[in-house]
A and B are shown apart, each in its own frame.
Chain A
Amino acid sequence: MSTTEHVMSKFLNNPDDIVPESLAGLEAAHRDLVTVDAENQVVLRAGGPVEGKVALVSGGGSGHEPLHGGFVGLGMLDAACAGAVFTSPVPDQMLAGSKAADGGAGVLHIVKNYTGDVLNFKMAADMLDDDGVQVETVLVNDDVAVEDSLYTAGRRGTGATVLLEKIAGARAEQRASLQEVAAVAQRVNDGSRSFGVALSSCTPPSAGSPIFQISQGEIELGVGIHGEPGRRRGQLGSAAEVASQMATPILDDLGLESGSRVLAFVNGLGGTPAIELYVLYGELSKLLADRGIEVGRSLVGSYITSLEMAGASFTLLELDSELEALWDAPVHTPALRWGV
């Protein structure tokens, strides 16, 4: 069977409607937390804007759920703009989301470092500036699998996005200024590194067939979150070996010394069950212990995904007491909730 004849086994009415229908479902399930501006495909915090609070606005292509719409609510985002699957939203959406979320204290745009996201958010920020809305932008670029050089688009934004949205959101709830919220967001990005691997591809509804082919027993090393192939392909080893392949480049890049404290985040890419994620987490915690690195906080689950891709990513964030307290602060969103 050729790929063009591939029949998609997905819960769909019409592939073209997957994003608006999913947003409508999110709203129906969490009316106490979010409202959806259906025309602009923007998820807004219920009861917003919050007067006097810096508004956090993020967004990106769909297909990474629960990111970003699932993180709208108390202690995290004020607005999330949903693009088509794996396609950045358009400036009109960020304009609408930012204006709806602005409580008079300015807007922080949280942008994953992909060319499309960067260009569309930049155009929106320029338009908001014309309209007198204060905007700061933080770029997330935590993926160590991508060489950071003048000759690439730079490192991708992946798992650190979740940590950054949580921590900057908590800082904004303290009524910190736009500059202070942007500063802590930048600190989270600078102290985070991630690495992802995949055991399968994924099928974007508009494409109808998997983005790449991979055989049983093979692993793509250094994947992002858009189903794109990774930097190289290898033979799938044991969970302990894979954990080491993922953790080593992160640890090398962060340059963590014995005695450091980290937040360890093991993320599923959509098609890997929690039982396997916890196997990976166990291996990661052993690797960290061997190096004398203390795990201050942890998060395990599928929070930034690539449709139904089987795979996982590790993110490590070096902690200090401020970041730890902000991580622990109350959060109440569709996908992340504690302390309330």
Chain B
Amino acid sequence: MNAQTITRWMEESASAIGENRDYLTQLDAAIGDADHGANMDRGFSAVVSSLDGLGDQPPGRVLIAAGRTLISNVGGASGPLWGSALRGAGKRLGDDPEFGPEDLADALDAALAAVVELGAAEEGDKTMVDALAPAARAYRAGLGDGGAGSALDTAAAAAEEGMRATTPMLARKGRASYLGERSIGHQDPGATSAAIILAALDRAVRAEG
């Protein structure tokens, strides 16, 4: 895997977020303020526009630049959180021109650690961590049975399962936490976009063929 993989991941993420823009907005309207779809769409569109200017940067640098673009364009909580996630993953990959399945496991862990540190959220708080954490675990466990592609299938499934599991949860972080008990019964928009982005990573790596 190389910088092309990351570029493809960002493009896949942008198009999937774009397709789900209204869906994310509807989820956010139920327990937040109806801006998640528009914000993530704006951010990932900006990332895709910036990719051309990156030339022959190594994959880690592409991720760091993408994270910086999200921080500068998204706003809200998602901008700093996803921006820090991608920068954390990018720093872990470093300046090597290629990365292997194990490096990707470390990068996913670094992304999760960055989100947990900045957002101070834990699993069960009804946030993006509820999709990211099980996905990072499932990917590393899945590497024992096959390559990055099949491990990512498992990770994307785990993210989706984690996303669905947020529905009965009581929100403890972010704007949904203001609703208290009324946050129960709604799927978390942040966990949903996280599952979308992890599914995009799966497709991007699978496309290596």
Contact = CB atoms under 8 A, between A and B. Distances in A.
A and B form one complex:
yes
B185 interface: no
Given A89-B75, A204-B33, A224 B39 contact: no
Contact of B72 (A86, A90, A122): A90
A226 B33 contact: yes
A206 interface: yes
B174 A207 contact: no
Interface in A74-120: 83-92, 114-116, 119-120
B179 A119 contact: no
B119 A86 contact: no
Interface in A119-158: 119-120, 122-123, 145-147, 151-153, 156
B25 A207 contact: yes
A340 B16 CA distance: 55
A211 B75 contact: no
Nearest to A114: B175
B35 A85 contact: yes
Interface SS majority for chain B = helix
B74 interface: yes
B34 A86 contact: yes
Nearest to A89: B75
A206 B28 CA distance: 13
A211 B174 contact: no
B71 A123 contact: yes
A229 B76 contact: no
Given A153-B175, A204-B34, A206-B38, A116 B182 contact: no
Interface in A201-256: 204, 206-207, 211-212, 224, 226-229, 231-232
Interface string B178-206: 11101000000000000000000000000
B172 interface: yes
A227 B34 contact: yes
B81 A86 contact: no
B177 interface: yes
A86 B177 contact: no
A119 B35 CA distance: 17
Interface of A: 4, 61, 83-92, 114-116, 119-120, 122-123, 145-147, 151-153, 156, 204, 206-207, 211-212, 224, 226-229, 231-232
27 contacts: A83-B75, A84-B38, A87-B38, A87-B75, A91-B71, A114-B175, A115-B119, A116-B76, A116-B79, A119-B79, A119-B119, A120-B75, A120-B76, A122-B80, A146-B177, A152-B173, A153-B177, A204-B33, A206-B34, A207-B29, A211-B33, A224-B178, A226-B33, A226-B175, A231-B179, A231-B180, A231-B182
Given A122-B80, A204-B34, A228-B33, 14 more contacts: A4-B22, A61-B35, A86-B34, A88-B75, A90-B74, A90-B75, A114-B175, A116-B79, A120-B80, A145-B178, A152-B178, A207-B38, A211-B29, A227-B33
